[in-house]
Amino acid sequence: MRWTPRWITPQQYKKHPSNPVYGPDQSGAWDNWTNGVGILRTPDRKHYRMYYCDRVNGIGFAEASVDRPTEWKEHPSSPVLRPKGEPHWEGNRLNQPRVTKVTETHWRMYYTGWGQGLWRMGLAESFDAGITWKRHSDGPVMPLGPPGSDDSEAACVPMVIRVDGQWKMWYTASGNRKKAIGIAYATSSDGVHWDKYPGGHVMPVIKSSKWETGVVSRPYVMHADGVYKMWYSMRGPAYRIGYAESADGIRWERSPANPILDVSPDGWDAEMVEYPEIDIYHGIYRMWFCGNNFGTVGYSEGVPETTLDLSIRTGSMRDPGPGWSDWSAPLRRPAGEAIRGKGKFVQVRAKLTTSNPLLSPGLCALAIV
């Protein structure tokens, strides 16, 4: 049996009491910002590598044990990528490193250059699991769109994943950064050459929304159990973090509980929170994020508020009766769970719960194959 659950991902996050967990005070003298982190696990699955940028000195990284996600130490090779300077398209600032794996040792970093007043996307590659990096080419990996398009001024800060052999990218895009910044979409067979979705922004700003009037940007996307899940930055009066889900990666539904991460009453993230990065560890959703002035790193963990439990029972007669089996324990593998029991008939029971009046879990598809 296979099924598609919706809205069971945590949409409330509890901040760690030791926040901020990393920033310019812990990194080297080259870094005075610690902006826009991208986090991956090492090949042994026991450590994280976190990539971040300084205002002018490029991109470096720090490491932490997966058992201690708030304790980071900068790697001595930092910075690993420096801007080429004007008049090169990268300009004097590299920004927002997002890293994805081709293999366990072949990694790709999509980064942003701010040269010539535009935001464009470059590509660097590592063949030693993120220690050393080399640019793939001297030019942007994603061209800007033509005048009047949704990405004529900015095509940058992407999230790249591979689903069923196809590379998919959601990227920050704008045709006029003073008016609106949204999220666009592209696909690729190799992760280098991209075909843009012709419909423009798949996550545009919503002018009528309190939280998304000016910016929707820098998504983190994962695909699980038939659902695309997006954590993203949004700006109305100030930056907050939102969440959305989609069946196809193009048509998105915002969470009614947005923002899922708000500012603190005071301190380093009292003005803004943005740039979420997610990892799931033993079922716990971990989120790292940035605070005031787009820099310094905090940590939070998801608080489950909804559940969807499916159970089955089987029997040899059409109508349930004494010969039927007892209800099974809740099933846990939406991608495919074996139906165990005797008889040609099966009955399915779905139990949906929520502790948040804004959220309702859903069962969107169920198939017995």
For 114, residues 6+ apart whose C-beta sits below 8 A from its C-beta are: 90, 91, 92, 93, 94, 95
Residue 10: per-residue pLDDT: 97
Structure tokens at 112: 């942003």
Structure tokens at 306: 């909804």
* Backbone torsions φ then ψ of 53, nearest 5 degrees: -125, 155
- Closest by CA to 352, choosing from 314, 311, 318, is 311
State the SS3 of 204-246.
CCCCCCCCCCCEEEEEEEEEECCEEEEEEEEECCCEEEEEEEE
- For the stretch 351-364, pLDDT in tens is 999 999 999 999 99
Residue 342: per-residue pLDDT: 81
Residue 341: per-residue pLDDT: 81
45-58 residues labelled b (16+ CB within 10 A) or e (exposed)? eeebbbbbbbeebb
Structure tokens at 163: 């689903």
Instruction: Enumerate residue ranges in the chain where pLDDT < 50.
Output: none
Residue 37: per-residue pLDDT: 96
Count of residues making up the chain: 369
- Widest CA span in the chain: 80
CB atoms inside a 10 Å sphere around CB 316: 11
Domain edges within the chain? 20-302, 306-367
Residue 297: per-residue pLDDT: 98
Pick among 2.115.10.20, 3.90.850.10, 2.70.70.10, 3.30.70.260: CATH of 20-302: 2.115.10.20
Q: Taking the model in full, what pTM does it have?
A: 0.96
CA terminus-to-terminus distance, the chain: 6
